[in-house]
Amino acid sequence: MERMDVGARVRYFRHLRGLSQEQLALQAGINPAFLGHLERGLKSPTITTLDKLVRALGVTFEELFAESSDAADQDREAAIQRLQLLVRDLSTEQLDKLSDMIQAVLTFPKP
């Protein structure tokens, strides 16, 4: 069984959210140097620290510890999450317009 690299998963979600190590550490209330060591696999987090990180990252423990299937699935999931972050503060009217634009793009014939 392959060992889970928690630090790499934290880094993945941090990058996905466009946060620096310092920003995430500040939001989670942990030492930035510790976060750097965690991401490089030099330190192991406590459950309390993991709880702070998942809250700051806006993910669940399940998402943090999910087994990655393949690179294509990870890339697709990352793209979906980036879109969610981009649209989360839009009004209902803006979301409706965006939905219409996306639908129009999807109806274009494929080359």
Whether residue 13 contacts residue 35, with contact meaning beta carbons closer than 8 Å, is answered with no
Kindly write down the DSSP assignment for every residue of 14-75, as one continuous string. Answer: HHHTT--HHHHHHHHTS-HHHHHHHHTTSS---HHHHHHHHHHHT--HHHHHPPP--HHHHH
Residue 10: φ, ψ to 5°: -60, -45
pLDDT tens-place string over residues 24-82: 999 999 999 999 999 999 999 999 999 999 999 999 998 888 876 555 666 777 788 88
Question: Which SS3 state, helix, strand or coil, does residue 109 take?
Answer: coil
Count other Cβ atoms within 10 Å, centred on residue 92: 7
Which comes out higher in pLDDT, residue 17 or 25? 25
